[in-house]
């Protein structure tokens, strides 16, 4: 059997060609623009699997957001730094990344970074990313759904092992991690490459509710022992 390639190896090899094939996925652009419309200028956004920086980081920077992108591929990070100088990019793995400082992000984006890993790692990465969303913040996800674990395939000419979760399991886990799913849908996309077949993409838009404001204790109602002049402990 051919040796399976890691995500870093695959995307280092693809480099800028990935942007040529996947830089104009309609559902991704729609999701990024939906997010940008809801974020104030200066919003802190984490782009997980940032690739070449386009379209996600580029569009969010243009909308006035402060964007940090992480990607396992050194080649992708180098390309993103040259393409989107207004954002910050670093080589990092979502499975081990630790955000700097407390407070979380106003939004976290995850466009297709979880496929070349094992299924338990996919589930754990979802939990990690959800935990980085600040109260009132948003989480936008895109992936190829399916109850798949350890499937050996050839993708874009590279032998890889992929895993994913079903649509229902993605939705269940997002809710379990405190996010409200506002919208989800699937769409088919076929890259302009003879080696690539059509893909079914799942898009999820979610939000973490803002912290509930604790209401003050209600005033005592009038009644026996509660009327004017009634005694109080220590009174």
Reported as a single tens digit per residue, the pLDDT across 42-59 is: 999 999 999 999 999 999
Length of the chain counted residue by residue: 235
pLDDT for res 195: 67
By the 8 A CB rule, do 154 and 123 touch?
A: no
pLDDT for res 23: 72
The span from the CA of 76 to the CA of 50, in Å, is: 8
Place of tokens 């002049």: 229
List pLDDT tens digits, range 139-157. 999 999 999 999 998 887 8
pLDDT for res 22: 77
- pLDDT bin (cut points 50, 70, 90) of residue 124 is very high
Please compute the mean of the pLDDT values over residues 173-178 and round it to a whole number: 97
pTM of full prediction above 0.95: no
The span from the CA of 206 to the CA of 14, in Å, is: 30
Cis bond before residue 210 (omega within 30° of 0): no
pLDDT for res 194: 64
The span from the CA of 20 to the CA of 66, in Å, is: 25
95-116 CB burial, b ≥16 within 10 A, e <16: eebebeeeebbbbbbbbbbbbb
- pLDDT bin (cut points 50, 70, 90) of residue 229 is very low
Q: Of 17-26, 98-107, 113-122, which gets the smallest average pLDDT?
A: 17-26
Please compute the mean of the pLDDT values over residues 87-107 and round it to a whole number: 94
Vertex 27: Cα angle to 49 and 166 (nearest 5): 70
pLDDT for res 90: 97
By the 8 A CB rule, do 178 and 208 touch?
A: yes
pLDDT for res 126: 97
DSSP string, the chain: -PPPPPHHHHHHHHTTHHHHHHTT-HHHHHHHHHHHHHSPTT-EEEEET-TTSTTHHHHHHHTT-EEEEEES-HHHHHHHHHH-TTSEEEE--TTT---SSSS-EEEEEEES-SSSS-HHHHHHHHHHHHHTEEEEEEEEEEE--SSEEEEEEEETTEEEEEEE--HHHHHHHHHHTT-EEEEEEEEEE--S-TT---EEEEEEEEEPPPPPPPPPPPPPPSSTTTSTT---TT-
């Amino acid at each position: 059997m051919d040796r399976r390639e890691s995500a870093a190896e695959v995307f280092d090899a693809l480099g800028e060609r990935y942007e040529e094939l996947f830089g104009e996925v309609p559902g991704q652009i729609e999701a990024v623009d939906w997010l940008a419309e809801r974020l104030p200028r200066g919003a802190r956004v984490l782009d997980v699997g940032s690739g070449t920086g386009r379209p996600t980081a580029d569009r969010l920077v243009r909308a006035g957001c402060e964007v940090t992108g992480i990607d396992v591929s050194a080649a992708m990070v180098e390309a993103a730094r040259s393409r989107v100088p207004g954002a910050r990019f670093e080589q990092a793995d979502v499975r081990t990344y630790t955000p700097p400082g407390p407070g979380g992000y106003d939004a976290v984006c995850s466009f297709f970074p979880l496929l070349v890993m094992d299924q338990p790692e996919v589930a754990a990465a979802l939990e990690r990313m959800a935990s980085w969303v600040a109260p009132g913040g948003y989480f936008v996800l895109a992936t190829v759904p399916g109850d798949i674990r350890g499937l050996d395939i050839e993708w874009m000419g590279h032998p890889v092992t992929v895993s994913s979760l079903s649509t229902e399991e993605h939705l269940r886990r997002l809710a379990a991690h405190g996010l409200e799913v506002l919208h989800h849908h699937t769409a088919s996309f076929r890259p302009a490459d003879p080696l690539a077949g059509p893909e079914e993409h799942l898009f999820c838009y979610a939000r973490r509710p803002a912290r509930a404001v604790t209401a003050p204790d209600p005033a005592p109602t009038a009644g026996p022992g509660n009327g004017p002049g009634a005694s109080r402990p220590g009174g």
